[in-house]
Amino acid sequence: MAHRTINFNAGPSGLPLPVLERAREELLDFAGTGMSVMEMSHRSKEYDAVHEEAIALVRELLGIPAGFKVLFLQGGASLQFDMVPMNFLHGDRVADYVVSGRWAETAWREAQKVSGAAARVAASTAGEGFRRIPRQDELALTAGAAYVHVTTNNTIFGTQCRHIPATGGVPLVADMSSDIMWRPFDVRPFGMIYAGAQKNLGPSGLALVIAREDFLAGARDGLPSMLSYRLHAEKNSLHNTPPTFSIYILRSVLAHYKALGGLAALQARNEEKGRVLYGAIDAHPGFYRGHVTEKADRSVMNATFNLPSAELDARFVAEAGKAGMVGLKGHRDLGGIRVSMYNAVTVDQVKTLVSFMEAFVAKNG
């Protein structure tokens, strides 16, 4: 068997081994065509089956009711930062942004570039180093806003929004790049959900978009084709050549999730990983210093902490690397350690890291 590293990268991040094995298996001869899926027409019946299966699996895993479209777009999550206001923040509309982390702030800044002051900040925890998620009672929401934008998991700071805010009927638009499908959830309060694929879904560059049809109906007319959600929805994400191989991998990731027992099974695994990892942090609070102040806001996808010195942080990363674990260096904005535990990371891999953490504190604490 190939050597596989224990991969705690924040994104792009590890893919489930059975997905990679399936891709290897099918690479030279997909479905008896004598071609890889990368080499065939996006209008072929073989590719069409992949495309439709990917959409059907998104619907099935998330229990998406009628009245929602599932799209596969390019430009990652970052292009959605721009497309959302281009499509939905026009005329005399305003939108409220919950600024809970660096990506949330970027989404708001991009919306400002597109729509100026119409992109408002409903609340921000920037002044507190993004150590927690803004509370419901802190949100200054505008009645009749076009949408409220939230970021459900703050990849850099390690906070996660367990409770979707109440918006009084204003549609939610959510960046779920770093925690989509970590558990089942109800899509109905969302006008739009988007996620860069490179954490829980597949290769980078691809974005999954889930859009409520009545929300889509309010999109602006006359946009350039590639920037129009409505056009992509009308063309079933086949207006131009889609990123076929990335969609194929996403299909295989979702088929793997289904085989594991669906999102409820993934949630149980993810909660367990969180318990194991945060248990180790809480056992040594003077040594492993968690960044997040509100325990209820701790992310089960990205855990962030600092050791007592930058020198110890560096030694931790280097020694973990020697022990076969990569991707643990914290984001440059925060330093320290970040453990990204997306769906492909197993409970056993987190337990291996925790054994390493226990040994490291015994030696250096």
Ligand X SMILES: Cc1ncc(COP(=O)(O)O)c(C=O)c1O
Q: Is 108 a catalytic residue?
A: no
Q: Which residues bind ligand X (CB under 6 A)?
A: 11, 76-78, 103, 151, 155, 175, 177-178, 196, 204
- The CB-of-149 to ligand X minimum distance in angstroms stands at 11
- Residue in 69, 96, 108, 175 annotated catalytic: 175
Residue number, 104 or 281, with CB nearest to ligand X: 104
Tell me the residue number closest to ligand X, measured at CB.
76
C-beta of 104 vs 337, nearer to ligand X: 104
Active site residue 103: yes
Active-site pick, 96, 108, 179, 199: 199
Residue 301 and residue 345 in contact, taking contact as beta carbons nearer than 8 Å: no
Query: Nearest distance from residue 99's CB to ligand X, in Å?
Result: 12
Return left, alpha or beta for 267; rule: phi > 0 is left, psi -120 to 50 is alpha, else beta: alpha
Q: Which residue, 11 or 202, is less far from ligand X as judged by CB? A: 11
Least distance CB 365 / ligand X (angstroms): 31
Could you tell me if 333 and 102 are in contact, meaning their C-beta atoms sit under 8 angstroms apart?
yes
- 182 catalytically annotated: no
Q: How far apart are CA 268 and CA 260, in angstroms?
A: 11
Using an 8 Å Cβ cutoff, are 340 and 302 in contact? yes
**Catalytic positions, written as ranges:** 103, 175, 199
